[in-house]
Structure formats: structure tokens, C-alpha cells
């Protein structure tokens, strides 16, 4: 329920509905922004935050609902129209021109002119004065590209405020900033709050939420879960409201006697397969040290943006680490992997969280998708014989129970669960030492989830290790031999099987005592 307040909101959205073909993105969603407050919008991936912001800024037109700005109905049909109304947005990726000067970026499209000529001196003076108001002292005549990302964010905020903004929306502004840069941004937000600005702050980071927020709105499954004063909402309560009941978690497998089935516990003295030492990437993951033993499932628990996927991508060479090293079987791999092919050669496979964008090539057949990783490891000049490709495809279709008309059927025609099984087969065919599974059960039905979870626990029988990432916490709790808690881009604790349950893992993620 909304929090009662004697102040009048600057901006209010009520009863917002937005649909796309086959998808209800927003259902009766709402938001209230008050003057002189930082209001944080939170929710898991797919909660509807981005869609709501796009409705507010004129990118999408809702089917139902009302938007009030200072009590007057508005219906922006473009971002420019929203900006003219006083709603300015600073996006996660700085949307400016790095080759132009700082002053030009602030005034682009609105250059001060006299008799048709641009007043360059006035523009630089005005730009300097605007940045000084944000405690930023730089040479505004220099190209924007010469300054770090945090300063570029301040320039983007100055540009947003240069249109007499009544509402400032910051969409994941800290995702690529280090701690010092975050504090610089927060000092600016506090100054704007004191001036009466209504600020909408979108983030996944709990620490930042509680450091800067006056009010929090939580969204879940395209709906408004609730609005709360930050001081009255504990971290544990916030995490519970974001995640909700795990209704879609795969059911527990049981033995004939009714006991819960589980993978055999891995001995504490089992040899280490992979170890990271201070592995990190600026703005993505703090230096992290962890070890994965042979034959174990290591679960990564945390909210979206906690650093789970960022760690997986660094391990696989999909992103380049700034610091640290990776060791496999006690051998230094050469600090870090330069690219995914190096990781594949070292025996690592990755099932990405984005099945359609980074996993399956929908126009290719089941066979072609299945042999991609093997072909990458063999190299472009050593084609895998067609007969071998067909044998592998038939074998894995049978072993994993992939429902398809044939191995030459385009993977795009398969259900989500069967597509995921093909991608799992792609990496199993390479016989990896370590399988990284990032959200392997997202967007698939309960039966397919159950089958894939069975495969996960059986992968370790012959010594294969699994790094398991899932937003469905009960899956991680019951599948993992050990769990590492991720929070605000850091590893914040490690627990063995049985030390956490579905309830206490939420406390660990929230940073409360377990």
C-alpha cells in the first residue's frame, strides 16, 4: 500500500497498464514522486521498472492509466516532449558525444546564439557555472572523452537540469562507477534534494539504496508491490518483497522413502579445480577470491546486479578483468583468460543467462547449435565431420530427452525448456572440467526445470564441477554443496550445505545476521 503523506507529489502515475504481443508488461502499476526526495525504484529483472520509466518518458504509450505532473494530466508521446514538460532522464550508458567539448555536450541542441551566431564564450561560462553548482571544477572546453565516467555522469546531469527539470530520473547511474565516484554522485544528489528536486533513482544495490533514499517503491511481475519510507523498511523485508514467494521453483526430488534427494556431499578436502585470487573488474566486481573443488556444485546467491553474472563472465573471458588471476588445477592460467576460446580450451563452459541473445542461434538447427562449442575449441580449420556431428546430436537428444522433430529442426521452433537442454548439451559435448550455469531455469516450465535440476546434480558424478547461479533461491539452496553470497558487487560470505535454508539465505543476501 502507498505510504500516507501530507505533501503533494510532483509526479504521480496510477493504474498504468502496458501490453506487448503475448506479454502483460505492466498491470495497474503506479509511482509517486515528491519534491525534495530521492525515491528509489527497485525490483528483480522483469519486474517492469524499465517499462514504467519508458511510459513516463514518452517512449511507450500505456493502454490504461493516468500521469499527473503537478496535478495536471500529461501524456508525453516522446522523450523530447517529456523533457519539455520537465522530466529529464540520465541513462545507465552516458548518452553524450565524447568528441565534443563538455560545454557543447551540456548545451547541444540549445546553443546560446546572438544574431544567429553561437556565443561560445557565454556557453563555456554558463557550463562552468552549472558544473560548479554540482561541485565539479573542470575545463569545459576540453573534449568529454578526456574525463572519467563519473565526471561524464555529472555532465549528463547538468544537461538534464539545463531544461528546467522538475523531475530527474537516474537509471542505474552507478553501475560502472567505483566507490569514490558513487560518493561524488551522491553528494550531488543530496544537493539537488536540498533544492527541492524530485529524484527517481533506479538501482539494484542495497547499500546504495539505504545510503541515499528517502522512499522506496518495489515492483514485482509488472505490478506495484508497495511504496515505503526507507527508514521503515528493513533490508530483509525489502529483499522478501522484491523476490516474493518462490512459486515457480522446481519441486524437491524425493527418494522412495520420502527423503529429499540430493547430490552426494563433496569432502572438504577434495582437490581444488579452479581458484580466483583477487579477480575483479572496475565498476563490475570487487576483487574476489574463491575456490571451486572438483565434483562440487558451488552456488552463487544474490540479487540481480550483485556481481553473480559479472563473476561468471570474468571466469569465462567474456569480460576482461582489471585485476587478479585464475588458477586451474593449481596452475596459473596467465592471470586471466583473454577471450572465451581460451576458457573453452582450459575446460570451462558457460550457459549464459540470456538464452536468446547470447546462447541459442534461433535460425540454426539443433545439431548446428549443439556442436558450436566443440567447433570453437577445434578451430575454424578443423571442421568436425558431419557424421560425428549427427552422432553427437542424436546421442544428446536421447540422453537429455530433448523434444524435437529431428536434429535438423531449427532450435527457434523448440520450447524454452528444450532450447535450454540443447545449450546444456552444447557444453557437455566439450567434456568441461567446470560448467557455469547462469540462470539455467529462467523462463521455462516447472517440469523442464525439474529435469534440468536433475542434470545439474548428476553432472558432478565423474568429477565435473558446477558454478550454479539462479534467482530462484530454493534451487540454489538444495542443489549446492557450498554457497557464496554476493551483495553489491562483492562476495560477502560462504556457507556449506545445511548452514542456510530458504529463509536464512534471504537474511544473508540482505546483510543481516544469520
Query: Secondary structure of 309-364 in the HEC alphabet?
Result: HHHHHHHCCCCCCCEEEEEECCEECCCCCCCHHHHHHCCEEEECCCHHHHHCCCCC
pTM: 0.66
In this structure, how many other beta carbons lie within 10 angstroms of the beta carbon of residue 286? 19
The predicted pLDDT at position 355 comes to: 62
How far apart are alpha carbons 435 and 294 in whole angstroms?
11
The predicted pLDDT at position 263 comes to: 47
pLDDT exceeds 80 at position 2 = no
Provide the edge-to-edge strand list for the sheet that holds 285-293: 285-293, 272-281, 323-328, 331-332
pLDDT band at 443 (very low <50, low <70, confident <90, very high): low
> What CATH fold (topology level) applies to the domain 1-86+166-245?
Rossmann fold (3.40.50)
Mean pLDDT rounded to a whole number for the chain: 82
The predicted pLDDT at position 254 comes to: 40
Domain ranges of the chain: 1-86+166-245, 95-164, 273-347+432-443+460-514, 354-431
What burial letters (b/e) apply to 350-363, b meaning 16+ CB within 10 Å?
A: bbbbebeeebbeee
* Residue 45 near residue 304, CB atoms below 8 Å: yes
pLDDT band at 259 (very low <50, low <70, confident <90, very high): very low
How far apart are alpha carbons 242 and 245 in whole angstroms?
10
**Range in 12-16, 301-305, 333-337 with the lowest mean pLDDT:** 333-337
Grid coordinates in use for 110? 540549445
**Range in 119-128, 238-247, 458-467 with the lowest mean pLDDT:** 238-247
Same fold, 1-86+166-245 and 273-347+432-443+460-514: yes
How far apart are alpha carbons 158 and 513 in whole angstroms?
41
The predicted pLDDT at position 444 comes to: 62
The residue written with cell numbers 558451488 in the block is 298
Q: Residue 398, exposed/middle/buried by CB under 10 A (0-12, 13-18, 19+)?
A: exposed
The predicted pLDDT at position 251 comes to: 43
Domain boundaries 273-347+432-443+460-514, corresponding CATH code: 3.40.50.300
Q: Dihedral sign, CA of 331, 337, 341, 347?
A: positive
Which carries the bigger pLDDT value, residue 331 or residue 265?
Answer: 331
Best-predicted range by mean pLDDT among 219-233, 330-344, 378-392? 219-233
The predicted pLDDT at position 333 comes to: 60
The predicted pLDDT at position 247 comes to: 43
The predicted pLDDT at position 359 comes to: 73
The residues that bridge with 486 in the sheet, in sequence order, are 491
How far apart are alpha carbons 304 and 82 in whole angstroms?
29
pLDDT band at 13 (very low <50, low <70, confident <90, very high): very high
pLDDT exceeds 50 at position 252 = no
**Mean pLDDT over residues 22-38, rounded?**
90
pLDDT exceeds 80 at position 460 = no
The predicted pLDDT at position 9 comes to: 92
Which carries the bigger pLDDT value, residue 249 or residue 67?
Answer: 67
How many Cα atoms are found within 13 Å in the side-chain-facing hemisphere of 270?
20
Grid coordinates in use for 50? 524499465
The predicted pLDDT at position 334 comes to: 59
Q: Which helix (H) or strand (E) holds 290?
A: strand 285-293
Q: Dihedral sign, CA of 460, 394, 351, 321?
A: positive
Q: Over pLDDT 70: what percentage of the chain?
A: 89
* Residue 362 near residue 324, CB atoms below 8 Å: no
The predicted pLDDT at position 3 comes to: 56
Q: Over pLDDT 90: what percentage of the chain?
A: 21
pLDDT band at 217 (very low <50, low <70, confident <90, very high): very high
* Residue 101 near residue 144, CB atoms below 8 Å: yes
* Residue 65 near residue 17, CB atoms below 8 Å: yes
Q: Residue 257, exposed/middle/buried by CB under 10 A (0-12, 13-18, 19+)?
A: exposed
Q: Which helix (H) or strand (E) holds 390?
A: helix 386-399
315 closest CA partner among 348, 293, 292, 272:
348
**Range in 48-52, 80-84, 174-178, 208-212 with the lowest mean pLDDT:** 174-178
Q: Dihedral sign, CA of 172, 173, 176, 182?
A: negative
Per-residue model confidence as pLDDT tens digits over 148-169: 777 887 888 888 777 677 899 9
Which carries the bigger pLDDT value, residue 373 or residue 69?
Answer: 69
Q: Roughly how many angstroms between the first and final C-alpha of the chain, as a whole number?
A: 29
pLDDT exceeds 80 at position 331 = no
What burial letters (b/e) apply to 28-63, b meaning 16+ CB within 10 Å?
A: ebbbbbbbebbbbbbbbebbbbbbbbbbbbbbbebe
Best-predicted range by mean pLDDT among 29-43, 385-399, 430-444? 29-43
The predicted pLDDT at position 192 comes to: 87
Grid coordinates in use for 276? 580466483
In this structure, how many other beta carbons lie within 10 angstroms of the beta carbon of residue 71? 9
Contacts of 387 (CB under 8 A, 6+ apart): none
Amino acid at each position: 500500500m502507498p505510504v500516507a503523506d501530507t505533501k503533494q507529489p510532483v509526479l504521480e502515475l496510477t493504474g498504468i497498464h502496458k501490453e506487448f504481443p503475448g506479454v502483460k508488461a505492466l498491470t495497474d502499476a503506479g509511482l509517486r514522486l515528491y519534491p525534495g526526495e530521492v525515491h528509489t525504484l527497485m525490483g528483480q529483472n522483469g519486474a517492469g521498472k524499465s517499462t514504467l520509466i519508458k511510459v513516463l518518458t514518452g517512449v511507450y504509450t500505456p493502454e490504461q492509466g493516468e500521469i499527473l505532473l503537478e496535478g495536471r494530466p500529461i501524456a508525453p508521446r516522446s522523450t523530447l516532449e517529456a523533457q519539455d514538460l520537465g522530466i529529464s532522464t540520465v541513462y545507465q550508458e552516458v548518452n553524450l558525444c565524447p568528441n565534443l567539448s563538455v560545454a557543447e555536450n551540456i548545451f547541444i541542441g540549445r546553443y546560446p546564439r546572438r544574431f544567429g551566431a553561437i556565443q561560445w564564450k557565454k556557453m563555456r561560462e554558463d557550463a562552468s557555472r552549472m558544473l560548479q553548482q554540482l561541485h565539479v571544477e573542470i575545463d569545459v572546453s576540453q573534449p568529454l572523452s578526456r574525463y572519467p565516467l563519473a565526471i561524464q555522469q555529472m555532465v549528463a546531469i547538468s544537461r538534464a537540469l539545463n531544461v528546467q527539470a522538475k523531475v530527474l530520473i537516474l537509471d542505474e547511474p552507478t553501475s560502472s562507477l567505483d566507490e569514490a565516484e558513487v560518493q561524488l554522485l551522491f553528494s550531488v544528489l543530496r544537493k539537488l534534494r536540498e533544492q527541492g528536486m524530485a529524484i527517481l533513482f533506479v538501482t539494484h544495490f542495497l547499500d546504495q539504496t539505504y545510503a541515499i533514499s528517502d522512499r522506496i517503491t518495489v515492483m514485482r511481475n509488472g505490478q506495484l508491490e508497495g511504496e515505503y519510507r526507507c527508514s521503515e523498511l528493513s533490508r530483509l523485508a525489502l529483499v522478501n518483497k522484491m523476490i516474493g514467494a518462490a512459486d515457480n521453483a522446481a519441486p524437491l526430488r524425493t527418494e522412495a522413502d520420502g527423503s529429499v534427494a540430493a547430490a552426494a556431499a563433496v569432502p572438504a578436502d577434495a582437490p581444488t579445480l579452479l581458484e580466483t585470487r583477487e579477480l575483479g573488474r572496475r565498476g563490475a566486481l570487487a576483487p574476489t577470491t574463491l575456490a571451486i573443488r572438483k565434483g562440487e556444485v558451488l552456488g552463487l546467491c544474490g540479487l540481480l546486479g550483485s556481481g553473480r553474472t559479472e563473476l561468471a563472465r570474468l571466469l569465462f573471458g567474456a569480460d576482461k578483468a582489471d585485476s587478479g588471476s585464475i588458477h586451474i588445477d593449481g596452475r596459473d592460467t596467465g592471470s586471466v583468460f583473454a577471450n572465451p576460446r581460451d576458457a573453452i580450451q582450459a575446460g570451462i563452459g558457460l550457459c549464459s543467462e540470456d538464452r536468446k541473445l547470447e546462447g541459442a542461434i534461433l535460425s540454426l538447427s539443433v545439431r548446428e547449435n549443439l556442436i558450436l562449442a566443440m567447433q570453437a575449441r577445434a578451430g575454424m580449420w578443423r571442421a568436425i565431420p558431419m557424421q560425428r556431428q549427427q552422432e553427437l546430436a542424436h546421442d544428446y537428444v536421447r540422453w537429455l530427452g530433448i523434444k524435437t522433430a529431428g536434429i535438423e529442426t531449427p532450435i527457434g521452433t523448440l520450447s524454452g525448456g528444450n532450447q535450454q537442454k540443447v545449450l546444456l548439451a552444447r557444453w557437455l559435448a566439450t567434456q568441461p572440467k567446470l560448467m557455469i550455469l547462469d540462470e539455467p531455469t529462467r523462463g521455462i516450465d516447472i517440469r523442464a526445470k525439474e529435469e534440468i535440476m536433475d542434470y545439474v546434480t548428476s553432472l558432478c558424478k565423474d568429477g565435473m564441477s558446477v558454478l550454479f547461479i539462479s534467482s530462484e533461491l530454493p534451487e540454489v539452496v538444495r542443489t549446492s554443496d557450498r554457497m557464496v553470497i554476493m551483495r553489491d558487487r562483492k562476495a560477502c560470505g560462504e556457507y556449506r550445505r545445511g548452514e542456510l535454508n530458504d529463509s536464512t539465505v534471504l537474511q544473508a543476501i540482505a546483510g543481516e545476521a544469520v
